[in-house]
Structure formats: C-alpha cells, structure tokens
Chains A and B, each alone.
Chain A
Amino acid sequence: MTTTPPATLEAFLLIGAMLFCLGIYGALTRRNAVAILISIELMLNAANLNLVAFARFVDHSHISGQPFAIFVITVAAAEAAVGLAIVLCVYRNIRHINVDQINLLKW
C-alpha cells in the first residue's frame, strides 16, 4: 500500500520556518516573561515539526525520527515547569515580571 503524502517536505519545512520566525518576533518584542516563554514554546514546536517531517520523508524506516520529537516534548515540558517556577519566584520578590526592569544584577 503506497500513500501519497498530504504535501511536500518543503511545505512542512516552511511551516516550521514560519512558526520559528514568529517565535523570534514574539521573544524579541514581549516584555512579560510568561509571554516570552510562550514564544519559546512556539520555536520548540517548529523544531519538532521539522523532526517529524524529516522522519516521514527522508528517513528510510519513516519512524526513527519520532522518538526525537518525544524527547523534545519532554524537555519542553521540563523547561516550562522550571521556567514558570522561576517567573513566580521573581514575581514574589519584585512584584512584576517585565524582563527589561529586572535589573538586580546590573550595576
């Protein structure tokens, strides 16, 4: 049973590139630390889409790239948990989370 793919590899890679660049734009323009974390999640997902697309189109077994995507999801979940805990910690100490005003280490 051969199946036609829903779209070309380039189409999936372009979606990944678009999501990544939207993530860059968000991470650069946001001031709220939680919003920056949201943008970073976008970028991680773009990388994940590329991994799964390469597994489907380039890899011979068509599957061995997928465990990589699972690992990226795992690391992203750990990153989100620790990142948001740090954000809560910062908020408790200085009552805001605007990253351009967090300058305790600046002299």
Chain B
Amino acid sequence: MSAAFVILLLITVGAAVFVVTTKNIVHAAVFLGFTLLGLAGLYLLLGAPFVAFAQVMVYVGAVTVLILFAVMLTAQRLMREPRYGSQWRVAAGLAAAVVFGCMFWVINATSWPISPLKQDLSNSSEYLTQFTSGLLGSYLLPFEVASLLLLVALVGAVVLAKEERE
C-alpha cells in the first residue's frame, strides 16, 4: 500500500465518520465535501482522472453547495437536529455492522479474477480516446437517457421549489 493511498483512506473514512456522527448539519455537509475530495483522490490512484474531475466538479462543487443551501433555507434551532434515543442508535449501528460483516466476508472469500494492468493509460492521450469511445459508443443510449433525466430533474426541481402565488 502506498502512502498516498493510506492518507486518502484516512481522509475519506474519517470525514465520513464525522458526517454521520456530528450533530450540526452544516458540519456534516462540509465533512461530506472532504469525503468526496478523498474519493476523487482515490479515483486518481485508480487511473480514472476523468471520473475524479467529474467528482470534484459535480459533487464537491455542486451537490455540496446545493446541500448547504438547503440546510440554510430549512434552518431551525441553530441547525441542531433532535436525535433518536440511544437504543435506536445502537440498533442502527448493529444493523450497519451486520451489513459490513457480510460484505467483509464476501470480499475476502471471493477470489477476484484480477487481470494485470498491461499499460497505464491514465497519463496518455489514449485514455480520453478509449474513455469517450466507451461513453459515446457502447454506452450511447444510457448517455442520451442521462441527458433526458437531467432535463426532467431540472424542470421538476424548479416546479417543486417554486413558491406558489395566487
């Protein structure tokens, strides 16, 4: 394991722990930004620079800011949310731990068909060629459907959030 991987792992998981445990929702949104940045770093390590930059632009740039706006617009009692009782939280923690245990077991028990990396494409112009020929070639239909989905979501969000006036 390289040092960069360990640092990104600590940033990602550590910030995610704060996201779900902090009481202040503004803090949760900011820590979510750190988690997303750490994930972008992991994508870079995995040889996926395009995904990493899309992550930074869409998630860190847009979704986090959108969430912060929603928190501000629905602020109540200094943004502290009333929490469930400790019993409920222990039960939720148990449920999450059981799911994690199952996934841990499956990940370790499976022998993954790993194919060795012959060539690191992420630094060459070959990367974009292959990536876009996938995005606009094999996955052209999902690509067009995604554009339709974005249009519908845009119109839907405007209609839902618009103030109704008589």
Give chain A's interface residues, CB within 8 Å of chain B. 1-3, 5-7, 9-15, 17-26, 28-32, 34-35, 37-39, 41-42, 45, 48-49, 52-53, 55-64, 66-71, 73-82, 84-89, 91-92, 95-98
Give chain B's interface residues, CB within 8 Å of chain A. 1-2, 4-5, 9, 12-13, 16-17, 19-20, 25, 28-29, 32, 35-36, 39, 42-43, 45-48, 50-51, 54-55, 58-59, 62-63, 66-67, 69-71, 73-74, 76, 81-84, 88-89, 92-93, 95-97, 99-100, 103-104, 107-108, 112-121, 127, 130-131, 134-135, 138-139, 142-143, 146, 149-150, 152-154, 156-158, 160-161, 163
Cα–Cα, bound, A76→B54 (Å): 12
Closest residue to B55 on the A side, CB-wise?
A73
**Dominant SS at the A interface?**
helix
Q: Name which of B20, B117, B131, B146 has the most chain A CB atoms within 10 A of its CB.
A: B20
**Given A5-B117, A76-B63: A19 and B35 within 8 A (CB)?**
yes
**Dominant SS at the B interface?**
helix
